Amino acid sequence: MSDTAANLRAQFPLLAAAPELHYLDSAATAQIHRAALDAVVSHETTRRANVMRGTYRLAEAADLAYEQARQSAARFLNAGSAGEIVFTPGATASLNLVAHAFGSTLKAGDRVLVSVAEHHSNFVPWQMLRDRCGIELAPIPVGADGRLDLTRLSELMGDRCRLVAVTQCSNVTGAWTDVATIVAAARKVGAKVLLDGAQAVQHGPQDVRAMDIDFYAFSGHKCFGPGGVGVLWGRAEALARMPPFLGGGGMIAEVTPEASTWAAPPQRFEAGTPPIAQAIGLAAALDWMMTLDWTAIREREDALCQQLIEGLARIPGLRLLGPQHAHHCEARAPIVSFDIPDLHPHDICQVLDAQNLALRGGHHCAQPLLAALGAEACTRASIALYNGEADIEALLAGLDRARRELA
C-alpha cells in the first residue's frame, strides 16, 4: 500500500470513522493504529495472564509476547540488546526513573544540565533532585527562534557535570536539538546524555547508538500505540550501576527480613505488574512504523508544515514561535505554535473545535520556554503522517473565522 496520507489515515480507526475531523494535536497524543489496537485486543482475549509469574501455558504465552515487545522496541531504537529496554507507564515515568535512580548516584555539587526548552517532565524531576540532595542544576538558554543556544555549553558544564538531560525536539517550537554537539561536549567531561524523545518518535525510528547517548525516553501514545506505556532505553552498563526506583514484586533477586537484593536490568526497574497489553500494542505500532517509507513521509510532513507557516504569515499580527521555516532534519519538526494578539488560545481552540479542528492551546507544560519567548500561552498545531493538505486548508480557513468571531 502506498504511504499517502489518505491511505495512512484509513489505517487509524478513529480517523477512518470520522472523515470530517481535522486532527492536528498529535504532539499531545497521536491516534492509535489499527495494528496496535488489534494487538491489545488479541492479547486481552487470548493470552491475558501476568508475566514472570506463572508456569502454565497461558502465562508462558504472555511472557513470550511481552519479551517480544521488548525486542521490537530495541529494534526501533537500534539498541544494543533487548535487555536495555525498560517498559514504564510513559515518558514522564521514564524521566523520573532516571532522575531518581541515576540521581541517587550523584552528590552535592555535581551538576546536571537541562534546557529552558524542556517539557516539565524533564525539568521538574531535576529540580526535585536538586532540592533533595543538593546537586547544581544549570539551564541551557534558548535563542529567539527557540533553538538551544549552545555557545556557552562548555562553560555551563564545567568539570562537575554528570548528566545533560535535553529534549530531542521541542513540543512547542518543533526545534530540533543539536544532539551531536551536546554529546561531544559531554564526553569531554565524562558526562552522560539523556534525550527526551517524546516528540521525535512519531516521525520515524531512532538510532540511539548512532547518537551515542546514554538514555532515551518516549511514550507509546505519541507514536501510534496505546496510552499507559513508555520506554526507557539505557546503556547496559549505565542501567547496571543504577539502583531501582520502585520496590515490589518482580524487581528483586532475594528478600529476607533483613535486606533485599535486586534483579538485573531491565527487571530491576519494572516493579509490580508492568503494562503488558500496552507494551504488546506498542510493539505492533513500532513494527508497523518500521515498514514505512520515512523519507517520503518526512518530505510530506515538511511540505505541510511549510504550507501552514506560509499561511500563518498572512495573518496580521500573528507571531510564529520557533524556526521560521520547515526543514525536518535541519530546523523543526512539524509542530507549529503561534500567538495572535488579544485572542486567547483556549478561545481560538474552541472556535476551531466547532469546525471539526482539533488543536491545543495553553502553555503545553513548557512554561520556562514560553517565558523565554515572551509568551504566556500559544496555540499549537502538530502534523503527523495521516495529515494532508485539506487539514492545513481547513485550519487556515478556521483561523479566519475565529478572528472574526473573537474580534
> What CA–CA distance (Å, rounded) separates 106 from 110?
6
> What CA–CA distance (Å, rounded) separates 388 from 119?
27
Residue-wise pLDDT for 203-238, tens only, equals: 999 999 999 999 999 999 999 999 999 999 999 999
Facing residues of 357 across strands? 22
Mean pLDDT of the chain: 96
Residue-wise pLDDT for 372-397, tens only, equals: 999 999 999 999 999 999 999 999 99
Q: For domain 37-289, give the CATH number.
A: 3.40.640.10
Facing residues of 187 across strands? none
Cell of 29: 497524543
> What CA–CA distance (Å, rounded) separates 36 from 280?
8
- Which sequence spans correspond to the domains of the chain? 5-24+293-406, 37-289
Closest CA to 66 of 43, 92, 89, 45: 43
Which one of the listed residues 133, 223, 349, 365 is annotated catalytic?
Answer: 365
Lowest-confidence pick of 48-62, 87-101, 163-177, 325-339 = 325-339
Angle at 375 between CA 370 and CA 381, to 5 degrees: 75
Q: What is the DSSP letter of 308?
A: H
Task: Say if 5-24+293-406 and 37-289 have the same CATH topology.
Answer: no
3-state helix/strand/coil string of 68-86: HHHHHHHHHHCCCCHHHEE
Q: Catalytic: 133? A: no
Beta-carbon count within 10 A of 98 CB:
28
Q: What is the DSSP letter of 244?
A: P
Is residue 53 pLDDT above 90, yes or no?
Answer: no
Q: For domain 5-24+293-406, give the CATH number.
A: 3.90.1150.10
**Considering Cα of 44, then 47, then 51, then 53, what sign does the dihedral take?**
positive
